[in-house]
Amino acid sequence: MPKNWTTVDLLRHARHDWLNQLQLIKANLSLDRTERAKEIMNEVIELSREESRISNLKTPNLAEYLLTYNWLKHPVKLFGKVKGESGDFSLYEEDLLHLTDELCELLNNSISGYEECSLVMTFVPENLHVCFDFHGQLSEKELVHNKVKNIFSTHKSMKVIESYIHDNECYFEIRLSS
C-alpha cells in the first residue's frame, strides 16, 4: 500500500531523479555525444508527459503509488502509461490500487533469477480497459497465472478479457464496469 511520504521525502526523491538525468546529459555532452544527450532529454520529456497523464486520471492515491513505487527498490519495476488522453478512473481507484498492490507483491515474490523485471500498467480511457504487461523470469508460471486470475476475480468491478503467460511475459487485460 502507499507509503506516507512527507513533503521532504517527495522532494528528495524527485531531486535525486532529476539530478541523475542531468548528470547523464552532462556526461554525454562532455564526451561529445550530443545525439545521446538529446535522446536522454527526449526520454525525460516523455516521462514527464506520461507522469502528467497518470496524474490526470482522477486517481490521486493510485497516481502516487505509480509515481513513487520504484523509489522503494522493489525487484519488479512498475511503470504506468496512458493510451491517448487521460480519462476518469475515479470510480475504480480503490479497486485498482488494491489490485496493483496485490499483483506487485505476488510478482515481486515470484521472480526467478537476477535479470531486470518490469510491470507496465497501461490505462485505456477510451473503453475503460487496464492492461498489465509483465516481463521477466517467473518461477512456477502456472501457479502465478492462477493466483493472478484469482486476484482479478476478487474485484467485482473488473473482468479479465485477455490473459496469457509465456516464457518471459505475462499479460492481463481487464475491462472496468460499475
Measured between alpha carbons, how far is 59 from 122 in angstroms, rounded to an integer? 14
What's the mean per-residue pLDDT of the chain? 90
Highest mean pLDDT of the ranges 11-15, 17-21, 60-64: 60-64
Mean pLDDT for 36-47 is: 94
pLDDT of residue 140: 80
Label residue 178 by pLDDT band (50, 70, 90): low
Q: Which of 56-65, 82-91, 117-126 is least confident?
A: 82-91
Domains of the chain, each with CATH number or no CATH = 7-176 (3.30.565.30)
Closest alpha carbon to 26 in 16, 41, 11: 41
> For residue 1, is pLDDT > 70?
no
pLDDT in tens, 61-78: 999 999 999 998 899 999
Across 6-20, 37-51, 139-153, 158-172, least confident range? 139-153
Residues 6+ apart with CB under 8 A from 119: 76, 77, 78, 79, 103, 104, 107, 132, 133, 134, 135
User: What pLDDT sits at residue 10?
Assistant: 83
* pLDDT value of position 57: 96
- 21 backbone φψ class: left, alpha, beta (φ>0; ψ -120 to 50): alpha
* Residues contacting 117, CB < 8 A, separation 6+: 75, 76, 77, 107, 111, 134, 135, 136, 137
- Set of cell numbers at residue 92: 475504480
| DSSP for 79-105, written as a single string | EEEESSS----GGGHHHHHHHHHHHHH
**Cα–Cα dist 72/70, whole Å:** 5
pLDDT, tens digit, 9 for 90 and up, residues 117-176: 999 999 999 999 999 999 998 888 888 888 888 888 888 889 889 988 887 888 999 999
The pLDDT value recorded for residue 43 is 93
Here the contacts of 102-105 (C-beta below 8 Å, separation 24 or greater) are 102/151, 103/132, 103/148, 103/151, 104/69, 104/74, 104/76, 104/78
Chain centroid to CA 40: 20
Band (pLDDT 50/70/90 cuts) for residue 45 is very high
